[in-house]
Chain A
Amino acid sequence: MNWITNYVRPRINSLFSRREVPENLWTKCPECGTMLFHRELAENLNVCSSCGHHMPISPRERFRNLFDGGIFTEVEVPKPVADPLQFRDQKRYPDRLRAAQKATGEPEAMLVAEGEMGRTPIVAAAQDFRFMGGSMGMYVGNAIICAAERAVETGRPLILFSAAGGARMQEGILALMQMPRTTVAVEMLKEAGLPYIVVLTHPTTGGVTASYAMLGDVQIAEPNALICFAGPRVIEQTIREKLPEGFQRAEYLLDHGMLDRVTDRRKLRDELITITRMMMKLPPAIAADLPAPADETAAPQADGAE
């Protein structure tokens, strides 16, 4: 298996769903107020070029920048029973789901894909905060289980990008049961001796932090990401005291020994390549050797190597 086969064989979903970035749109950095040209911001992985603030990035966009040449194969996630509790608050749960699907163009809150990253075969999973706050329900549980199974099947490391407000209330106790379920998935990786690397992104909270997002072999967070079990508002209400500056932010957790590293999104890919290649006992990646897919639609040349 080399990179060529990865061009030819897989269903290349990334090509079908490629959204064009509008030409003349500007985004204001919520942190420093700088007006950022949309296209430049996208090229900068949604990181403000002025102050380094990390804005949200969709799983698909992240994968395009993670995998070699932006090419990845989506791993199909088994669909769970729809609306298992027939949950209804002010809106019906299926209506909330449909609205989220329409807004994001994604079926659910997690995307699983496989491909190569710096010519290192990996499986990756990324949570989509735009989709009902990235909340963990049966689908997200299934996604993590099938990502782990795929990683074990193919002997690849799993890199997981977390982003969630916690468990999905609309799935009640079944959402809560994703804590043990996803922990079983992590166990499978550990037993198979495969690396499980977690990248915690803003925000990662509640039952997600208290299960698969804190069980990585290596724990990396993006700068200033909120990472916690109970949110700051709940804590302030409980202890009736002002919380310190930067409380529950990535750097704060790093200081308190809860993380291995805090890494800028723009340097993340290189770090992940370095780390996974060491853990997989592969030689160092040679950056210059990487194929540069200038035109993604052009049929690549087969070199006959397998």
Chain B
Amino acid sequence: MMSYLDFEKPLAEIEGKAEELRALARENDEIDIEKEVAALDEKAERLLEELYRNLSPWRKCQVARHPNRPHCLDYVEALFTDWMPLAGDRNFADDHAVVGGMARFRDRPVVVIGHEKGTDTKSRIERNFGMARPEGYRKAVRLMDLADRFGLPVITLVDTPGAYPGKGAEERGQSEAIARSTEKCLKIGVPIVSVIIGEGGSGGAVAFATADRVAMLEHSIYSVISPEGCASILWKNAEKMREAAEALRLTAQDLKALGVIDRIISEPIGGAHRHPEETIAAVGDAIDEMLSPLVKKSRKTLVRDRRRKYLEMGAKGLAA
């Protein structure tokens, strides 16, 4: 069942009405409601288009966090073959918020790493809502090392509210683990391509999204802090998240303008959660297009260019 976001309420009403009429028609085939239903469907479609054509930054946050949005494992299942998940950081535990392993992407063997948020209450708890602990980042470091040794390109799928703020996570060195993961992203002599498919939450996202090429889905976000967190600090009022989302410039469109990401992957009208297959296919094509020119480059060139990219980043501000 589709869950509606608050701004989609008028849409829910129209679609609800159409559904009622359909139900009525099923019970009584003497009533001809085809015209009415068609009119409602058209109205709904127009409204959907209107709503999604100009999503405000805060609405984009809501879409990016939509529970029905395709998550990391949906992409893995659809885009990769020979998926071989690999577990554990060899030190403490296996973090279920981070999935990783070997797979083939359009026949090419690669290493895939991503945050998984889960799809229902049980799996969301098991995945800790996509909030990784140090073990998750250390697993990623281990897998990136493996990729580096065997010359396998790395593909990361980013979707996290942020690194987990917990007691154990802090005691086991959450910050160090994130720092090492970012460091590893910069160091490996194989191509690394990243797609932000939902939420790019602060340092927890940077640890995987430091890459040769970074793409974002049209309605995904990538930010230094959540709009709610920013609002409660700078506005002293968490309810000012709309203003904060605006000011932070966390949309794919803003990040492209700032030169922080390389490309935006379009979502079908109504967002990825209404059309998961099309969205996943578009992400697959984008990964392929980003990866193909990179696999031809030497280890040295890859590392040098990646470093240069980050050193030069932000030099021009919004004029980039």
Contact = CB atoms under 8 A, between A and B. Distances in A.
Contacts of B167: 235, 239, 241, 243, 247
B250 A173 contact: yes
A132 B129 CA distance: 32
B234 interface: yes
Interface stretch (A183-191, A270-278, A279-287): A183-191
Interface residues of A, number: 53
A205 to B, nearest CB: 8
Contact of B224 (A176, A183, A243): A176
Interface in B158-185: 163-167, 169-176, 178-180, 182-183, 185
B235 interface: yes
B179 A173 contact: no
B183 A176 contact: no
B258 interface: yes
Interface in A165-195: 167, 169, 171-177, 179-181, 183-184, 186-187
A80 B313 CA distance: 11
Interface string A204-224: 001101111111000000000
Interface string A148-180: 000000000000000000010101111111011
A302 B185 CA distance: 50
B314 A169 contact: no
B253 interface: no
A17 interface: no
B179 A172 contact: no
B258 A174 contact: yes
B179 A183 contact: yes
A90 interface: yes
A227 B171 CA distance: 11
A138 B258 CA distance: 13
B183 A215 contact: yes
B50 to A, nearest CB: 28
Interface string A225-246: 0011110001100110101000
B248 interface: yes
Contacts of A174: 258, 260, 313-314, 317
Given A214-B176, A215-B183, A230-B174, A169 B224 contact: yes
Interface string B209-224: 0100000000000111
A229 B187 contact: no
Interface residues of B, number: 54
A206 B310 contact: no
A169 B225 contact: yes
B255 interface: yes
A186 B255 CA distance: 25
Given A229-B174, A230-B170, A258-B176, A180 B224 contact: no
A85 interface: yes
A85 B187 CA distance: 30
B98 to A, nearest CB: 16
B79 to A, nearest CB: 26
B31 interface: no
A89 interface: yes
B244 to A, nearest CB: 8
A201 interface: no
A33 interface: no
Interface of B: 163-167, 169-176, 178-180, 182-183, 185-187, 202-203, 206-207, 210, 222-225, 230, 233-235, 243-244, 247-250, 254-255, 258, 260, 307, 310-311, 313-319
24 contacts: A80-B315, A85-B258, A88-B247, A89-B247, A145-B311, A167-B224, A171-B224, A172-B223, A173-B258, A174-B314, A180-B186, A181-B313, A187-B183, A187-B187, A207-B224, A210-B175, A213-B175, A215-B180, A229-B163, A229-B175, A229-B178, A235-B166, A239-B166, A243-B167
Closest 5 CB pairs of A and B: A230-B165, A84-B317, A81-B317, A209-B175, A89-B234
Given A173-B254, A238-B165, 19 more contacts: A85-B318, A87-B248, A169-B230, A169-B248, A171-B224, A172-B223, A172-B224, A172-B248, A172-B250, A176-B222, A177-B206, A187-B186, A187-B187, A210-B176, A210-B182, A214-B175, A228-B170, A239-B167, A256-B171
Interface of A: 80-81, 83-90, 138, 141, 145, 167, 169, 171-177, 179-181, 183-184, 186-187, 206-207, 209-215, 227-230, 234-235, 238-239, 241, 243, 247-248, 256-258
